Amino acid sequence: MSAHEANKGVWGSPFPASTGWGWVLTYGVLLILGGILAFLNPLATGFAAGVIFGAILLAYGVIAIVAGLSAFSTRSKVLELLLGVVAVLAGLFVLFDPFQGAASLAWAIGLWLFVSGVSQLFYGLKGTHDKGWRLLLGVVDIGLGTYLVISGPLAGLAFVAAIIGFSFLFRGVFLISLAFGLRRLKSA
């Protein structure tokens, strides 16, 4: 890569790739610290996830209601208005009890994993392609899904905290490696 190509920017940004590697490094370190905190305090992480989940539902509901009021067809209006009202009510419910919202999010993920596992088992038994992997994935998904559905709310909060913690850790490691790559570009 020539110096001119390196200075075009990362992912098409107008800023040179060699600029600001320290900010990327700082962001990566902060994400790793956030990931560690998520593991150390799953209740606070679950609370924060519940608040964010509730705010997203509330925002979606308001947007869906506005879209329903501006829809051209009657069918679209009714459906959007109904979905909007349900989302606003669910968002308010989650915001009034963020722990329950985060636990219900974990329960929904568990249900999805269970259904996904059953379908993987079905296709693993019926098909011939990737049979072993599908069967293994099906058993793992069913096990994790069942655990999340039948476990208590604290286990659900711990699961949400673990997902957030792992996500932050992996993103932090990626950004730190990206920062050092940008630093090498700057010195080249």
State the chain's mean pLDDT as an integer.
83
pLDDT of residue 8: 52
The DSSP annotation for 78-121 comes to: HHHHHHHHHHHHHHHHHHH-HHHHHHHHHHHHHHHHHHHHHHHH
- Rounded to two decimals, what is the model's pTM? 0.62
Q: What is the mean predicted confidence (pLDDT) over 48-63?
A: 90
User: What's the average model confidence in pLDDT over 50-73?
Assistant: 87
Residue 13 predicted with pLDDT over 60: no
pLDDT tens digits, one per residue of 95-120: 898 888 878 878 888 888 899 889 88
Question: Quick one: pLDDT at residue 176?
Answer: 94
In the predicted structure, residue 23 carries a pLDDT above the cut 80: yes
Question: Among the ranges 47-51, 60-64, 131-135, which has the highest mean pLDDT value?
Answer: 60-64
Distance CA 33, CA 14 (A): 30
What pLDDT band is residue 18 in, cutting at 50, 70 and 90? low
Amino acid 177: pLDDT: 92
Query: Given this model, what pLDDT does residue 173 score?
Result: 93
Q: Which residue has the higher pLDDT, 99 or 35?
A: 35
If you average pLDDT over residues 68-91, what whole number do you get?
A: 82
| Alpha-carbon distances of 86 from 65, 82, 100, 167, 171, rounded to whole Å | 10, 6, 17, 29, 33
